[in-house]
């Protein structure tokens, strides 16, 4: 049996109870709403991407379970100051982390996001962890739209 502590790492519990970068941007360059129809979790991501494709500002608001909130919170921390290309790399890396075995190189790139490795053992929670990331993809590729985990 997987230990619950492997899923709910201290960092995750902390971020879920004290989400960082929680709020909204008045004039985002990119914005998307993510929704998980199974559980009703909802988040909205707001980004400001500058002329050099660098994410200069990123915040989120919404409500959901500890995993989805912590994931959104840690995502905003990880992406601030990154380029869109780097964000895409992290998206794929994160997906690999929670669904199969990522390479060591990928793991290294993920840095703090590796706390989500335990999610893999809880298949019903994978969508919670990836909600913010799917929302990010939507915001970056399709502008202002809705993402769903379905």
Partner 1 sequence: MSRLPSSVSTTNSLDGIMAKVRHDFPALQQSVHGKPLVYLDNAASTQKPQSVIDTISHYYAFDYANVHRGIHYLSERATRAYEDAREKVRNFIGASTSREVIFVRGTTEAINLVAQSYGRMHLTEGDEIVITEMEHHSNIVPWQLLCEQIKATLKVIPVNDTGELILEAYERLLGPRTRLVALTHVSNALGTINPVKQIIAMAHAHDARVLLDGAQAAAHIPIDVQDLNCDFYAFSGHKLYGPTGIGALYGKAELLEAMPPYQGGGEMIREVTFEKTTYADIPQKFEAGTPHIVGAIGLGTAVDYLSSIGLMNIGQHEQELLSYATETIGDLPGLRIIGTSPHKTGILSFDLRGIHPHDISTVLDHEGVAVRAGHHCAMPLMGRFGVSATTRASLSVYNNRSDIDTLKGALDKARAFFSL
Instruction: By CB under 8 A, name the binding residues for partner 1.
Output: 1, 4, 7-8, 13, 17, 38-42, 63-67, 69, 122, 124-125, 128
- Smallest Cα–Cα separation from 11: which of 148, 118, 127? 118
Which pair of structure tokens corresponds to residue 142? 């399709």
Q: Which is nearer to partner 1, 68 or 76 (CB)?
A: 68
> Least distance in Å: CB of 145 to partner 1?
21
End-to-end CA distance of the chain: 28
Q: Which is nearer to partner 1, 92 or 146 (CB)?
A: 146
Q: Which is nearer to partner 1, 25 or 65 (CB)?
A: 65
Q: Which is nearer to partner 1, 106 or 130 (CB)?
A: 130
> Least distance in Å: CB of 6 to partner 1?
11
> Least distance in Å: CB of 133 to partner 1?
17
> Least distance in Å: CB of 97 to partner 1?
19
Residues 6 or more apart whose Cβ sits within 8 Å of residue 106:
92, 93, 96, 97
Q: Is 59 helix (H, G, I), strand (E, B) or coil?
A: strand
Task: Give the full edge-to-edge strand order of the sheet including 55-63.
Answer: 55-63, 41-49, 30-36, 145-148
The DSSP 8-state label assigned to residue 54 in this structure reads B
Distance of CA 52 to the CA centre of its chain: 22
Q: Which is nearer to partner 1, 110 or 131 (CB)?
A: 131
> Least distance in Å: CB of 127 to partner 1?
10
């Amino acid at each position: 049996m997987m230990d619950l502590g492997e899923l709910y790492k201290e960092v995750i519990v902390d971020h879920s109870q004290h989400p960082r970068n929680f709020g909204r941007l008045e004039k985002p360059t990119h914005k998307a709403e993510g929704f998980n129809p199974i559980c009703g979790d909802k988040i909205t991501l707001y980004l400001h991407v500058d002329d050099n494709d660098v994410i200069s500002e990123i915040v989120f608001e919404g409500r959901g379970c500890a995993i989805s909130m912590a994931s959104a919170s840690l995502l905003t921390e990880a992406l601030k100051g990154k380029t869109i290309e780097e964000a895409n790399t992290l998206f794929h890396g994160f997906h690999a982390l929670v669904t199969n075995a990522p390479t060591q190189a990928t793991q290294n790139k993920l840095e703090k996001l590796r706390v989500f490795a335990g999610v893999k053992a809880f298949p019903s929670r994978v969508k919670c962890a990836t909600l913010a990331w799917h929302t990010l993809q939507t915001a970056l590729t399709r502008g202002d739209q809705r993402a769903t985990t379905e």
